[in-house]
Structures are given as structure tokens and as C-alpha cells.
A and B are shown apart, each in its own frame.
Chain A
Amino acid sequence: MSHQPEMLQMRTSDGVVFDVSLKVAQQMGLTHNWLQTEHGELRSSDDDDANIMPLDRVSSEIFKLVLNWCHAIQASGQPADPKSKLQQERTIFKNILGESNPSDSTIFELIMAADYLNIEGLLEAGTQHVADVINGCDSVEAIRVRFNIMYDGEMDH
């Protein structure tokens, strides 16, 4: 009935409920807002539904990746300086994408989730990842092909 104070329940857009430790959940800026407004004191109300934080814009598939990220960040601890922090974030990002070559769509959804949930590190790592792909394209046409972008007429400067 009443859940432990250290856990938070979060429900994604497709109805799946996740049990997330409070510490991990606090990596998400959105959680702070939720905890302040909706969930002022931990109440042992019978209405558990009110204690579940809704994530209307994130699907369960993507949320799993987000949780992977948060757990990995927590596990690696505090890095020494900003530079190594960036390094660490980029490595973790690559890891959670894993060997299964994720589609662009997954990566974009992950970026949007990071934006919605307000996780700065994940947003930076994701956007940097896409920037690296763009930097790797040798020509304008290569960019269009890579990201499936339609050419829409003469450019005027």
C-alpha cells in the first residue's frame, strides 16, 4: 500500500510503471518539480495512483535507456573536472546505446526525453553524438542522405 520513501513510481506514456529509486530519479529535473508541487509530503494515502509520477511524453522503451544512463552515472561517481565529466558522459552514452545499432529515431527520442525530463548530461551527450555524425559527413548531400532530409529549393543568402 504505502511504498518506501526511497522509491518513486513513474508511469510512461504507454502505461508501464517503473519503480525508480529516489536518488536516481532526482537526476531528472522534472522530478524536483513533481516532488515539490504534487508530492509535498509523503502521504500514506490509499490512493496510490496520485503518488505515481506521470511521464506523458516518454515511452517505456526510451525510459529504459534513460534509466540505464542514470544508473551508469550514479555508479561512476563524481568526476574530477569538467573535461573528464564530458568524457565520462559521452562514454556512458555510447554504452547505453550498446551494440544494437539504434536507429536515428531512437536517438532523437532519447534526446527529446532528456529534454523533457530535464537531464542535462544526457541531453548534452545525445546532442554531441548527433553533432559528431554531422561533422563526419563530407558534403551537403551526404548530410541530406544520412538524415533523410528533403532538399527544398534554391538557397538564397
Chain B
Amino acid sequence: MSLLALGGGGGGSGGTEDGSSSDTEPDALIDFTAMLMERKHECNGGWFSCGSKLQSQAHEDHGYYLGQYVLGVLDFSSQYGIDYSISYTAANVIGRPTKFPAYGDYPETFTMRTYGDWWQQAPSATQEIQAQNLPAVPTHDFIVVYFEKFVVPTEVAIFETFNPGGVVRIWAYSITKRWTCLWEATGNDLNRVPRDSRRFAPPLKKNNIITKTLRIDFNHSRLNYYTEIDAIMLCGRTVPMRCMHQLLAPAGKRLANTGEESGNGPIICKLRTLKFQPSCQGNDAVKLHEFINNDLSKFLMDSRVESEQQKNTSTTRICLTDLPCEILLKILSYLDLKSLFRMGQVSHLFYDISTHPLLYCDLSLKAYWQLADSELLCTLARRATMLRKLDLSWCGGFGEISPTEFKKFLTQRGDNITHLRLNSCKFLNASCIETVGIVCDNLIELSLRNCSTNPPLLNFSCLANLKNLERLDLFQTAFESELLLSMLESNRKLKHLNLAFCGVSVNMDNVATHLGTYNTQLVSLDMWKAHFLSARGLQSLARCQQLEELDLGWCMREATLGDSLYQLLYNCPKLKKLFLSAMRGITERDLMHIATLGKNLEQLDLMGILNITHERVYDILVHCSKLKLLDLCFCDNLMDSDLDVIADWSRLFNVDIKSSRIYNSR
């Protein structure tokens, strides 16, 4: 829908929530996979004819200042809507803003699946691997977008139209194939931002890079509800053609001005250790005299030659290097990977300690996604002989990691891995997945989020060897049904399963039946936007009596539930989190059952349920004493007056209640 920049103005009505065939316009159906395949996209120039270029003088020779909107999306870790839809999907960030400066919950924007800390508090929450690598403000989600023209960026503006304040980092990919961080949020930036639409353009670091690809990082912790992005604008100075040709000349030229520690030869290193160098020019005798009088003592001290005096006053002074190796190992175990490598360069002793395999049992390169490459994997392979947990999420997106190197790494070190996370790993191919299946048969946790290639990488029996899985996360990932069903049969100890956005090719009733038969230990299940789930499937799920978390958002739609929800609630008393967003088939009786049977409910999402009345809300609030979160947005049966009362109840019962009233009053 947002592709029609030429048409100007927003397309569909504000009420559309998904892409049923009558709503979508032909050019709104975005072929996402094709877009993801295209890295080098030659622009046809159609998008920016509506005066988006801030032109001064378009001299071919000198370049000009330009403001441009997103041309396409290369990758995103999470979106609320499903791919073929136009609502709340990442593709909505393309082109000019359609809603800004209006403020509200509009489906024509880019929205991510999560907000706040609620998912970290849910039963399905995971622990970070090698958590010390994460920065103070960690990134939860990201989107990678590209523009038409290369520029030297001067400004990046993000148009936020709902709950602003989620952006924490802005990265740019330069033509030298390096990612540079143009801006990073500090503690102050995260303070409560006023709930109004805003054009967020933070001050960028001074840079000389040439780019047309940006990555925006988000952190949801402080967000009250979903944050929504309408558009992203990249402003900067274009680069004249002849300069571009020079810069894109064949490899061998290091253009980036990084140069951390240039020159590490032995002589330079030796010179660096000498901090004091007496100058001897001209009148040498005088200089020497002055040196002896003024500078000698300082020189001696700097060169660590202690005088007798000093030796007497200090007792046994212990240095870091005097500590026993086990303690040094313990200290180093708290370091993030970057500091650990740094420590390894300090001296031979620390090199030996810092390369000890015990420090590489839990390994995560997620925080270093912009640096991770095949070479680093190779280095780590030598050290990680006791590898147990591995997280390569977000790495190798632009070819920095080769599938061959990954397979080699896994073959060498993967046989004892228990936890493997490969979220948004664009370098994966079918062969890589097969290697996982063959080598990593001790896996307890496998996370392969955001791997939605077509045809799916997860096919046939590539993972059939895995029999010990307790957690399987296939959020936003395509897979063949037969593979999943066979995996369910083999992994009887499965506790956590995430199948959100698995698409139309998966029949959820079949999956549910399998779960009810083979995976009765299930604790959490996410079926967000699943297809073909019916009352029968829901009844099957009732056999998983250990369920604590169930996300059925946008499943079932208009389908009648019969008493399947009742059966589920009755048989699964441990339920803490229940999401029933947009399940129109929910009746008033169902709501009464939720109140009477949901004793342990902490998070309840009833967004878009039309039959809900304020009496039922009160019922639920009174009976579900552990409730912390209640989403009542788009419950159109609730009048404004009801919402007033509900706001009072929110305070009275100490429950965070979300309602559409927050912004409708504008």
C-alpha cells in the first residue's frame, strides 16, 4: 500500500487489519522474497518525482544535497503483520510517510511483534548467551533498508507515528563494505518521550562514508505499547560519478579511515614501550646536564626502576600477574569477547589464559554482528574446543561469513553444542541446515528465527537426527510441514515451540493434533497468524496440560470455537499467558470461562474481541488475581464511558490495561 508514492495519500481505510483478497490493491502485494534477493537494485526513478529531492544544483560534477525515502527493505528481525499483508509490515516503511504527522495506531506503518518487557517475563523467555557481550542498551530488533542514491549522510530522519522512542542505533553500510554506527542512544535518550508523532533525526557522528543502506536498531524495554514507523529518510550529499568510479576501483585499496592499531611489527611495538626519549640535539653537554637534574628521576620511575627508598616502604605488593591462574581465568570469564581478545594481546601469559577453552563454552557474536566474519570464526574454532552454546544471530548478512566456513566450524566444534541460535543468519543455505542436523545431535535448543527463504531451507529430513530438543524457535521462518511433524514425533521432551508466521502452507490443526499426541510436555506455544486452526485443533491442544503460554493471535478468525476454549482452559490450569488477539469467534461464555478458569493468568490479550463488555472485563479483573497485562485495544463494543471506568479499574487492580482510548481522543 505504501508503494504507491506516485498516487500520494494513504490507500486503504484505517480499519483494515489484514490482507483479505477484497482489500488489497495489486501493487500493494509486495513480493518480499524477491526484494530480499535483490541486493543491487537499479532504480527506475519513479518514486521520487514528487519533490522529495531537496535540490540546490544538480551538477554531475559536484554532487548535490538530497533527501530520499526508503526504496526497499533488505531484512528485518520482526514485524507484526504477515508478509502477504499490507498491515503492520516492514514494507510499509518504503516510500513517503503516509500518516505522519498524525499520531495513532495505523496499519499502514511498520510495527514489530513485541513491546515492553512482557515477552521477557513470559514462560517462553530465554537467557542471552554470553550476556556480558551486550551493550548497556541492547538491540532487540532491527530493520535494514536501502535507498536509491549513494550519499555521504548528514541526517537520518525516522518518522514515528505511535509510541516513539524505540530507536537506539543507526548504522550505515558504506561502499567499503563496512558497517559504521552513525548514532547510538545514551541513557538520557531513553527517557519517556512524549506520546506524539515525531520526526526523529538525532545528531550523526561526523563521517566520510558513502552509503545507501541503513540499519535501524530498536529496543522495546521502555515502550508502553507497540512503536510504529511510517518512513525513514536519508539525507546527504551525493557523490559525483567520477569519484564513485575511483572509489569502487578493484580491491587492495583500504579506503576506510579506521586504523585502530596500524603497524604491529616488533620494532614499533618495542618503541611504544619506551615512553621517554631524551632529545639530544645541539648543545649536548647542557642537555645532558639538564636531563640529569630535571628528568632523570622521572625517567627511572617510568622505566620502573625502583629506588632503594621505595623498596623499603612498600611491603609485598601484588600485581595482577601474581594471582594464580585459576583466579585470572575467573576474572577473564567476566570479560566481553572484545576485551578478552584485547587481553590476549597484553602479554604471553594473558594470551595463554585468554585462549583457554573454558572461556569459550558460551559464545555469542550477536553483539558483534557488524564485525563477525569467516576469519573470526576460524580463530574461534581453534579455541572453542568445549563449545556448548553458540549464538551467531544477525551475523554474516552481507557475505562476511561463508557457508563453507560455518559448516567447517560446526563440524569441528558442534557435536557437543546444546544451544544453537542462528536468527536472521542470511548466510545459511540448505547444506548448512543439514550440517546442523547431522553434527549437533545433542541440541536442546535450536533457534532459527527469520529464515523465510522460498523454497524453505527446512525441508525433507534435514533435522531428523535431532531427538533431544526442548526448545524450537521458528518465528518468521518457512519450513515444510512434513519436517515439522516428524520433528514433533521425535522430540517428545519439547517444551517451547514458536511457529509464528509460518504461513499458509502449514495446517495448524495437524500440528495441534501431533502436539496433543507426542508433545504433552509443552509449556509454551506460539501460533501467531497461523492458518487452518479450528476448534478441533484447539481441543487437541487441551491434551498439553503443562501449557503455561499460548499465543493464538489472529488464528481462527471468525471460526466458531464451540467449547474448545473451555476444554483448553479447564485442562490447562497452569496457563499464565494467553493471547487471543482478533479471535472473533470468542463468545461471552468464553470470556466468563476465562475469568473462572484462568486462575494463574498474568498476561491476557483480548485485542479486537467484539463481544467483550465492561462487565466481563470486571469479572476477569476480579477473578484473575495474578493478572498484570490486559490488552483491550480495538474492542469496539467498549464505549468511551466504559473505558473511563476501566482506566480506574486499571489502577485499582494494578493491571496494565491497553485500550484504544489512549490516542483516539485526538
Contact = CB atoms under 8 A, between A and B. Distances in A.
A135 interface: yes
Given A108-B319, A155-B351, A139 B331 contact: no
B113 interface: no
Interface stretch (B151-159, B217-225, B320-328, B490-498): B320-328
Interface string A126-145: 01101110110101110110
A80 interface: no
A115 B320 CA distance: 15
Contacts of A127: 327, 330-331, 334
A16 to B, nearest CB: 15
Interface residues on B, range: 20 to 34
Interface residues of A, number: 32
Nearest to A130: B331
Interface in B329-366: 330-336, 339, 342-348, 350-351
Given A134-B335, A140-B342, A143-B343, A153 B348 contact: yes
A87 to B, nearest CB: 14
Contact of B266 (A105, A132, A150, A154): A154
A105 B342 contact: no
B346 A144 contact: yes
B318 interface: yes
Contacts of A111: 323, 327
A148 interface: yes
B331 A151 contact: no
Contacts of B350: 149
A104 interface: yes
A149 B261 contact: no
A140 B261 contact: yes
Contact of B327 (A112, A139, A144, A154): A112
| Majority SS at the chain A contact face | helix
B346 A105 contact: no
A135 B319 contact: no
Interface in B365-386: 379
A148 B319 contact: yes
A141 B350 CA distance: 13
Contacts of B335: 131, 134-135
A141 B269 CA distance: 10
B293 interface: no
B339 A150 contact: no
Contacts of A115: 324, 327
Nearest to A147: B320
B572 to A, nearest CB: 26
Contacts of B348: 152-153, 155
A64 to B, nearest CB: 16
A127 to B, nearest CB: 5
Contacts of B321: 147, 149
Interface string B259-283: 0010000100100110000000000
Contacts of B319: 104-105, 108, 147-149
B317 interface: yes
A130 B261 CA distance: 25
A144 B304 CA distance: 13
Nearest to A132: B334
Contact of A143 (B273, B331, B342): B342
Interface of B: 261, 266, 269, 272-273, 304, 317-324, 327, 330-336, 339, 342-348, 350-351, 379
21 contacts: A108-B320, A127-B327, A127-B334, A131-B331, A131-B332, A134-B331, A137-B339, A139-B342, A140-B345, A143-B346, A147-B321, A148-B320, A149-B320, A149-B321, A149-B347, A150-B304, A151-B269, A151-B347, A153-B266, A154-B266, A154-B269
